[in-house]
Every structure is written in structure tokens, then in C-alpha cells.
Structure 1
Amino acid sequence: MQNNTRALVEGALLSAITIILSLLSLYIPILGTFASLVWPVPIILLGIRHGLKISILATVVSGIIVAMLEGPLQALTVILGFGLIGIALGWAISKDFSAEKCLAVGTVASLIAKVVLIIISLYVMGINPINEEIAALKESVEQVTKFYTSMGMNKELVEQTTQNFKQAVNLLSMAIPGVFVLASIVDSFLNYSVAKLVITKLGSRIKDFTPFWQWKLPSFTVFFFMIGILLTFLEPYWPAGILKTIGMNLQLVFYFAFFIEGFSLLAYYFGKYNVSKPLRVLAVLLVFFNPFFAQIVAWAGMFDILMNFRKL
């Protein structure tokens, strides 16, 4: 009885914190990003300390109060966008999963939340947020084109640049599933990292990720990347662009995986040869701001997956 009362009291307090964070994210843009990262932490903490039921209850209560203050749509955004990943990570940590497994669980939860929010937006509000964003990007390209033309820039150069941007936007519209997967991975990683920092400050401990220089992806990632390339080449034999869309998304997701693996390889050699901090910073800047070096890192990551240069 005492434990149940304690769980309910802590749930009420942490629900109040989540509501405050929700309001901060809505009304204070500067703090909004920070609040969205911290929002799942109370739910994660409840899941660790008191189990799945209490974390779900706290999320639902927070959603109801946000609905009363801001409307049902904002409440759905809060519950699905933030609450689901908090519930999932709290459950995974309470089961003593490794940090990598927790990341996978959080990624799935974040991806489900994004898909459900899109479906609700489509069938309840009658709005396709993806099409809205793509249309906004195309409109911004048109506005930039008019601006540069009015400034007297070379018309052919402006038209060529505009055409390149439009092609990039069209490719982006095809790669939305891959973008969602990558965004879900980043969401899960950031939320787990912030939760670990906060929970450690509160006197508890959760598992660390494997040191970055030891990260090693399984060899099937290369297989799926090659499948993506193959599907793109087979596009002429299948209508409606289905194979190209699947192939592009596979390439996007696993190219990102190779890039992370390549950075892990780079970190390994930085440590092995005791590279100075200024040179490390310079190398990282070159990779992030020069596409040629970024591609080298990604391909190095792919070959490391196949050949295991570090003998991990």
C-alpha cells in the first residue's frame, strides 16, 4: 500500500513537471528544443522506478491536462511525440537492456509515433504535413530565384541552380521514410543521453553505450545497401517509382550507418596514434563541411564493416 501511494505521488509530481515542459515547448521557442529533449525524462524515471503502468498513467494524465489547456491535437502531439518514447525507454531500461537495445526500442517507438501523427493529420485534420512541407520548400526556391534574378545575377546560372534545388526537393519527397528512420534514431539517442545525464545526477545509474571508437555494425548493413543500389537500377522494370523509392531509402539509411562507422574508425586511429586535439577538430570540420571527405569517411566505414580493420 505504501509503495503504491509513493508511486502515485511521484507520478503526480513528475506529471506536473511534464505538463510544465509541454507548456514551455509551446510558448517559449528558445527553450522549446531543450524542453522537448527533457520532456520524456520524468516518464523514463517513472518507468524505471515504478514500472510500465505508472509511466503510461502519468503520460495519459499529462495528455488530458494539456488537452484541457491547449486542445486535443496538442495533447496527441505530446503523448505520441514525447510520451511514447519515454514509456518505451523507461520500460527498456527497467528490463536492464543494454544501451544499444534501449536505443533500438526508443527508435521503434519514435518511428511509430511519427507515423501515427501523420495518419491522424491525414484522416482527422485532412492535412498532409509532408506535402505541406514539400510545397513550402518549393515556394521558397521560387522566391529565392526571383530575388537573385532581381539582383541582376546571370539568368542561366540562376535557372540551373534553381533546377538543381527542385530536383533535390523531389528526391527528398521520395526519401521521407528514410528521413523518418534517421530522425527516430537521433531522437532516441538524444533522449537516452539526456535521461542518463539527469538520472545519474539523481543518484541512479543506467548503462553506457559502447565506447564510440569500438562501434561496429554487422555485415548485413552492406548487403541492404547493395540491395538499395540494385533496386534503383531495376527501376525501369517496375512502374510508379516503387523500386526507386525503396532503393533510395535503403541507401540513405545505410549510407548514414557507414558514415557513423567511418567516424568510429577515425576516432580509433585518433586514439591509436595520439593525434592532438587541434588536428582532431580540423579533421572533423573537414568531414562535416567538405562532401568529398565525408564520402571518404562513409566508404571507409563500409570497408571497415567488411574487413574489420580494428580487429574488434
Structure 2
Amino acid sequence: MKQSKTLTEGALFAGIYLVLLLITFFIPLIGFLSFFLLSVPYIIYGARHGLRPSVVLFLATVLFSVLFATIVSVPVTVFAGLGGIATGVFIYHKRSPYEAWAGGAVSFTLGIVIVYVALEWLFQINWYDELQHMLETSVDQTKIMVEQFGGEVSEEQMNLLELQIQQMLYLFPTGIALFGIVFAFISQWIGYKVLKRLGGDSTDHFPPFKRFTLPSALLWYYLIAMVGMWMFNEQGSMFHQAVANVYTLTGLLIALQGISFIFYWIDYKKWPKAIPVVVISGIILFPFLFLYPVRILGIIDIGFHLRDRLESGGK
């Protein structure tokens, strides 16, 4: 009976995935939204049946992608399947939401890398080169527009722009990782909503953001990357690019911890709920002004366990 239910649900979720995949590729506007739903069938099925049936579902959807969609859809299916199954299996084993998020984020990031390699191998499309070309074209067009309006762009300004472009390209891996993290969060959040509708565990949800905490090990990664930035300071070197990406990514995560602590502190002090909105707005509008103080706050929170101290009465 249980095996029959597993097979029936597998066929159902495979069909749902195929519909979402076809919408994503062939209906432009709705397809953008359905793209963020592609991993949800894997999450639901993995959360209900575990790893082995999910792998069977994954193989079936890869086959369906080849038969009913386009060859380009296969890397997309791999991307959605890896992250969705990882997230679902974490939920199946009753791991914490943040552990499931971490597992999904790593798997989605791996999926993006697979898509990147597949597109370059199949169609000679290199995202890095395309991004570089787009940025350089944008700079050239900006220079032309300024000159058309009677302005002048000095060589020093052009060199500064080129340096900024190069720095953005250095952080291309960080962009991939951030996309994986955000996509994992959105997919898991939707997955929790669907699971709740299907009568899932009532504990399947993200805890309040004020409870968001990162492991202390992340602080060590950040500090090691900071030291690495000093040691490998030659622009363009492989080591510099690697540590720059680790430094940026861990720094953003620590800043997220700092924002979480601000939410916790506001709740702890029973301040008006409008204050978090003001805080987030300020960080978004003036990131260069507020991001570093928030990051420092995150470092202090991780290193000294501020919330535990506050809850224990400052002991």
C-alpha cells in the first residue's frame, strides 16, 4: 500500500514538474514565476518519502525533460532536482529549517555550476564572458552619452570604472552562491506552505528572523579570508580572487546575522515594530554607510553569543 502511494505520488509530482518546466520555457512572463516553483515538487516529494524515491523521481523528470521539452531543460532539471531533493530530504529527517536551507543552498549552487558548464559545453555560452561584454558595453555607452551632452570623461575616471568592473567580475562566484542561497530560501518557504496545506508537520516553517543565527565557524572563515586578502593582494591572481569571494560572501552572511540581532534587540526592548522597517530601508538605501557597522554587530553577536547573555540576564 505504501509503495503504491509512493509510486502514485511520484507520477503526480513528475507531471507537475513537467508542466512547470514547459511553462517556464514557453510562456515568458508566467515562466519567470514558475521558475521559482520548479524545485517545489522535489521538496514535497523528498519531505514525504525520503532520498531513494526522490532519486527515482529525479531520473524520471530528467528523461521527461529530454522527451517533452528541450535539451536546455536538462541542466535546469538538474539544478532544480539537486536543490529540491536536498531540501526535501533534510525536512524528511526532521532537521532544522536552517540546516535544510544550508543543504539546499549548497545543492542549488552546485546545480548552477552544472548549468554553467553544460551551457558552455553544449552551446558555447559563457556567462562570465557575456557579463564582461555587457558591462564593458554599458561603460562605452555611458561615455558616449556623457560626451553627447557636452561632458567629458577623463582617463582616470575610465580607469576607475574598469577597475570596478573587474572587481565585479572577480565576485562572479559570490553572485552564483548568493543566487543559490536566495533561491533555496524561496523554494523552501514555498515548500513549507505546500506541506502545511497537505497536512504536514506544523513545525515545518522558518522560525522568526530574530532567531536567525549562524555557526561560530563562519567567523573563522571570515577572519581567514580577511588575512588572505592581506597576504594575496595581487589583483588578478587566482588566490586573491578566491579569498575575495570567500571574504565577500561570509561578510554578507555576518551582516545578515547583525540585522537579525537588531530585530532581536528591538523585540527584546519592546520597541515599535516600525523600527525594523526603518532599519532595513536604511541599509538598502545607504549600504556603504550601514553595512559595515551591521557586520561588526554580527561579528560581536556570533563571537560573544549576545542573545544567550541577554536571555540569561547578562551572566
Identical residues among aligned pairs (%): 22
| 2:231 counterpart (221, 231, 234) | 234
What is the SS of the residue equivalent to 1:310?
helix
Residue of structure 2 in register with 1:129 after alignment: 127
CA contact (8 A) 1:255 1:298 kept: yes
What residue number does 1:272 align with?
A: 268
Gaps of 5+ in 2: 310-315
- Give the deviation of 1:55 after TM superposition: 2.2
After alignment, is 291-300 or 194-203 more displaced? 291-300
SS at match of 1:155: coil
Specify whether residues 256 and 143 from structure 1 end up closer, same or farther in structure 2 by C-alpha distance, changes over 3 A only: same
Matches of 2:38 and 2:286, distance apart in 1:
35
CA contact (8 A) 1:37 1:194 kept: no
Matching of residues 1-40 of structure 1 within 5 Å:
2-40=1-39
2:173 and 2:68 mapped to 1: Cα distance?
Answer: 33
Equivalent position to 2:78, from 80, 95, 106: 80
CA contact (8 A) 2:116 2:127 kept: yes
- Could you report, residue by residue, the CA deviation over 1:127-161 in whole angstroms, capped at 9, with x for unpaired residues? 32222222122212212221232123x3137x665
Counterpart position of 1:178: 174
**Could you tell me which of 289, 294, 309 is aligned with 2:291?**
294
Aligned length: 307
The range that moved more, 24-33 or 284-293, is 24-33
User: Normalising by structure 1, what TM-score?
Assistant: 0.89
Q: Deviations over 1:44-81 (max 9, x none)?
A: 2222223323322323323323323332222222x212
Q: Indicate if the aligned counterparts of 1:178 and 1:250 stay in contact, CA closer than 8 A.
A: yes
Aligned twin of 2:313: none
Cα distance in 1, alignment partners of residues 47 and 110 from structure 2? 22
Q: In the alignment, is the contact (CA less than 8 A) between 2:13 and 2:41 conserved in 1? A: yes
* 1:196-275 matches, cutoff 5 A: 196-205=192-201, 207-235=204-232, 241-275=237-271
Deviation (angstroms), 1:264: 0.8
Matches of 1:70 and 1:84, distance apart in 2:
19
Offset, 1:28: 2.8
Superposed displacement of residue 162, structure 1: 4.7
Mapped partners of 2:52, 2:20: distance in 1: 22
TM (normalized to structure 2)? 0.88
Q: Distance in 1 between matches of 2:100 and 2:149?
A: 52
Q: For residue 94 of structure 1, report the CA deviation from its aligned partner.
A: 1.3
Q: CA RMSD in A?
A: 2.3
- Maintained 8 Å contact 1:110/1:184: yes
Please tell me whether residue 304 in structure 1 is matched to residue 301 in structure 2. yes
Q: Distance in 1 between matches of 2:214 and 2:88?
A: 25
Take 1:207 and 1:6, find their aligned partners in 2: how far apart are those partners?
Answer: 22
1:239: Cα distance to partner? 9.3
**Structure 2 residue 166 is matched with structure 1 residue 167:** no
- Cα distance change on mapping 1:223 and 1:4 into 2, 3 Å: closer
